Amino acid sequence: MPIAMMFEYDFMRAAFLAGGLVALVAGSVGFFLVLRNLTFAGHALSHVGFAGATGSVLLGTSPLWGLLVFTLVAAIAMGLLGERLRGRDVAVGIILSLSLALGVLFLYLYTTHATQATAILFGNVLGVDLETVWALFGLTGISLGALAFISRPLLFATLAPELAEAKGVSLRLVSILFLAIVAIAVAEAAQVVGVLLVFALMVGPAATAQRLTSRVGWGVGLAVFLALVETWIGITLAYVTEWPTTFWIVAVSCGAYFLSLSIRSASARETDPASQSRI
């Protein structure tokens, strides 16, 4: 079917709009998540959200709000650890496993929503309704506004934590606020790629951007741009091929990252005098 025709469908317009909103947040928040070496914590939050989403289904409410509540509570708990969170992979992993187990239990207790559970796990951006789009609008505004508000102390605490603390910056408060923003981003991203593959959308574009530039401003902008392009390309390819949208978004994201590795490697060889002399 002609690609231009896909915008004649309401669900495709909603998918592009929802995907764009999520990409804005995932790219910007993901950049700082990678910069602070907290990618595993972000991955754990998505799995914690699975328990919240399935619990909401059990109670008959929207999975988005249950996912949001659970991730926020877990984010605040992780943020209380401050900089020590980077060395608590075992504890975070245990919380992750417990959350998945709770999610499985909730599904067992209410098995009539198996289709909805699949959407929670793997995402279904083509099934996003207008109410969810408006919710994403609100969450995007809150998360981006909060990120802009703490961006300076966040960057200071990330690049020079000892100096930042000496200057009066509360590392614990910065950690709590940032992880709360990550929790919102995770809840949004799960609407597009599901809780199991949030990692790819939040980390992939950011990691690619940091491979291509060392400047923070350019890096954030590039991460957002890549997240937007990868999401929209994934939705388009899903429309053309009828393959799952999540697969295409993750595949394009991973492909962009591997391409950035090749570009970085080629650039390093060009600027290395020793390699040039060998050639």
Mean pLDDT along residues 44-52 = 81
Give CA–CA dist 179/75, Å, rounded.
Answer: 5
* pTM across the whole model: 0.83
Mean pLDDT along residues 61-90 = 74
In the chain, what is the straight-line distance between the N-terminal and C-terminal CA atoms, in Å?
Answer: 49
Structural domains of the chain sorted by starting position, each given as residue range(s) with its CATH number in brackets: 3-196 (1.10.3470.10)
Can you give the pLDDT at residue 276? 47
DSSP-derived secondary structure for the chain: --GGGGGGSHHHHHHHHHHHHHHHHHHHHHHHHHHTT-HHHHHHHHHHHHHHHHHHHHHTS-HHHHHHHHHHHHHHHHHTTGGGGGG-HHHHHHHHHHHHHHHHHHHHH-GGGHHHHHHHHH--GGG--HHHHHHHHHHHHHHHHHHHHHHHHHHHHHH-HHHHHHTT--HHHHHHHHHHHHHHHHHHHHHHH-GGGHHHHHHHHHHHHHHH---HHHHHHHHHHHHHHHHHHHHHHHHHH---HHHHHHHHHHHHHHHHHHHHHHHHHHH-HHHHHH-
123-127, 160-164, 177-181, 237-241: lowest mean pLDDT where?
123-127
Give 236: exposed, middle or buried? Use CB within 10 Å, 0-12, 13-18, 19+: middle
User: pLDDT tens-digit profile of 150-173?
Assistant: 999 999 988 888 888 888 888 888
Give CA–CA dist 148/161, Å, rounded.
Answer: 19
Average pLDDT, the chain: 82
Q: Is the predicted pLDDT of residue 32 greater than 90, yes or no?
A: yes
